[in-house]
């Protein structure tokens, strides 16, 4: 189900343009508009889930599909050899700004040791 006021639902539906990296029936991956590393791609389920807790409770198959999408992005961006970082921000302490679950795939350069 898509939410009318959710930007990632609109991107997943093709109503807002994005720079697509990977797509299948369940998942879309696209370039982050404000990249924090040389490679910064967002992987989102096409179905709306608020956050990682929501999808882990009622969409475990879609969560698995997101991880398959992560693998596709990693291969598409050539990140297997040198590695990468996955980030999921959840809720206010986690500074989640878009309330549609997404995984950040960051890489293409040496990343900071600091994670917080």
* Catalytic residue IDs: 102
Restricted to residues 33-52, the positions that interact with ligand AMP (CB under 6 A) are 33-34, 42
Which H or E element spans position 81?
Answer: none
Among 6, 54, 62, 89, binds ligand AMP (CB under 6 A): 89
- 23 contacts ligand AMP (rule: CB under 6 A): no
The distance of closest approach from Cβ of residue 23 to ligand AMP in the complex, given in angstroms and rounded to an integer, is 14
SS3 (DSSP) at 77 = coil
Q: For strand 103-107 and strand 27-31, is the pairing parallel, antiparallel, or unpaired?
A: unpaired
- 7 contacts ligand AMP (rule: CB under 6 A): yes
The distance of closest approach from Cβ of residue 33 to ligand AMP in the complex, given in angstroms and rounded to an integer, is 4
10 Å Cβ neighbour count for 47?
18
Which H or E element spans position 39?
Answer: strand 39-45
């Amino acid at each position: 189900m898509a939410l009318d006021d959710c930007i990632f639902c609109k991107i997943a539906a093709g109503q807002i343009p994005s720079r697509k990296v990977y797509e299948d029936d369940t998942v879309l991956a696209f370039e982050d508009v404000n990249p924090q590393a040389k490679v910064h791609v967002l992987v989102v389920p096409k179905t709306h889930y608020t956050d990682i807790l929501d999808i882990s409770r009622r969409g475990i198959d879609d969560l698995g599909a997101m991880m398959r999408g992560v693998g596709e992005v990693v291969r598409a961006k050539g990140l297997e050899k040198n590695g990468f970082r996955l980030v999921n921000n959840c809720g206010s302490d986690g500074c989640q700004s878009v309330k549609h679950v997404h995984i950040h795939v960051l890489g293409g350069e040496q990343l900071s040791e600091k994670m917080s």
